[in-house]
Amino acid sequence: MDYPDVPYLVKLNSKTHLVKTTQKDPHSPLLVSVQDAIDLRDRTGLAIVAVGYTIYIGSEYEPEMMREAQQVILDAHRNGLLVVLWIYPRGSAVKDEKDPHLIAGAAGVAAALGADYVKVNAPKKEGEKSSMLLKEAVLAAGRTKVVCAGGSAIDEKKFLTELYDQIHTGGASGNATGRNIHQKDLAAAVRFTNAIFAITVEGAGVEEAWKIYTEGQDR
């Protein structure tokens, strides 16, 4: 409620990571419904424009999550909300969570379900460039836009370069950054967010974005 002008996405499911895949396959059912998100928007006036949901494909609970995701998409679209799916291959059946074909499969599932955006992990394969591998996922996603998970906190220059490559080589439509922003102090976080915005939305190159981050360029 402190930031009434910020557009919000309401994440509808979540879980702790205490129970590991070696013990039980991941399952993350709905905590709140699309209608709950709409009620929240209408009651508070917050700018809620999208909802999100995570599917772990390859989990023994995939059927439950796939069904909930599909229903979320139908409900959200009937109400004018965008949907972002987080899709991660995970479970005892999944040997390599970042296998490029599995990531592409995840993107294809999002397309089949009719998501607006799909957030996937950046694909990885020994000796290959991740942004090149991402192309397969972007093709599989069809009209669904692909964004890559920001991953663990890394060097900022490297981060911006990868982001640029994901967009300009891989065909991604942006990324989803968490720790690389919120583990910085406020001023640095704002500058880094501006740098990411410049690359993603304003067509900036890496050097330009780097300057925004390091020189605290006013915006």
**What backbone torsions phi and psi does residue 158 show, to the nearest 5 degrees?**
-60, -40
**Could you give the string, one character per residue 97-136, with x where binding to its own copies holds by CB under 8 A and - elsewhere?**
-----x--x---x--xx-----------------------
Task: Please report whether residue 93 would count as binding its own copies according to CB under 8 A.
Answer: yes
Check residue 32 for interaction with its own copies (CB under 8 A).
yes
Nearest distance from residue 94's CB to its own copies, in Å? Answer: 6
Interacting residues with its own copies between 51 and 70 (CB under 8 A): 57-60, 62-64, 66-67, 70
Binder among 3, 5, 6, 23 for its own copies (CB under 8 A): 23
Per CB under 8 A, the list member of 47, 49, 74, 154 interacting with its own copies is 74
Instruction: Report how far residue 54's alpha carbon sits from residue 104's, in angstroms, rounded to the nearest whole number.
Output: 16
Would you name the residues annotated as active-site residues?
88, 119
Which residues contact its own copies by CB under 8 A?
14-16, 18-20, 23-24, 27-32, 36, 57-60, 62-64, 66-67, 70-71, 74, 89, 91-94, 102, 105, 109, 112-113
